[in-house]
Homo-oligomer: A and B are copies of this chain.
């Protein structure tokens, strides 16, 4: 929140800010360390066997030992994620723009979007596999999982455009394309980026689900297969190593999106502004 506790006397701003920045970097690491320690202690003290819940050390060792296998899977999954994310971002925004053209379009087609959102991928994947090449089917699955938040948030953003600004564009005879590019998209940007931050993690999940439902098995297969296989083969440390990779990938994706969002909004939108701006 902005300045709720602003000191009344001048503060050594640069110094304090530097310290705060350091703390902001350190604190997550401290909390992470604490989390890992709790995990470790929980496993040790309760003597939880590694085939139920392996300790962090074992998971890390497994991660290193199995790195060749796991990294290959990670790359596969990340590719699917990227493709799914791009599809979700473009598809979600494009659909929202389409719906924004007229309420009628929105009212007639939005239900189909909702249907897509709530359809379990596992149920439609076989159909997709019948009619689409496998690669495409995988991306469609990932897309189905991730597109809705982008669509919903973009719609919300487009509906929140300041009406006086919209009036201004009308007065100046802006073409629909101009209104789109110069008014609607920038105005909806904070919302769109919010949707993308949600979609980032969802496309990772989407990639996993898509791999399970429609992906190729065996060699060259992604983390989903590794997780399922390790679990089935009772190689629980490896399963956790794969989950760890997945989590790390999720965090990296989120951080990247948050960073992009910050860079895009930092000069003008409240949500990205510093305290004293």
**A positions within 8 Å CB-CB of B:** 1-4, 23-24, 27-28, 30-32, 35, 52-53, 100, 103-104, 107-112, 114-115, 117-120, 122-124, 126-127, 130, 148-149, 152-153, 156, 158-163, 166-167, 170, 179, 184, 190-191, 194, 197-198, 201-202, 204-205, 208-209, 212, 224, 227-228, 231, 239, 243, 246-247, 249-251, 254, 269-273
Contact = CB atoms under 8 A, between A and B. Distances in A.
Contacts of A163: 2-3, 270, 273
Closest 3 CB pairs of A and B: A118-B250, A31-B108, A2-B163
Contacts of A52: 127, 130
A160 to B, nearest CB: 5
A117 B205 contact: yes
B160 A269 contact: yes
B246 A120 contact: yes
A197 B120 contact: no
15 contacts: A1-B100, A1-B184, A2-B166, A52-B127, A114-B250, A117-B201, A117-B250, A120-B224, A126-B231, A149-B149, A152-B194, A153-B153, A153-B194, A160-B270, A198-B198
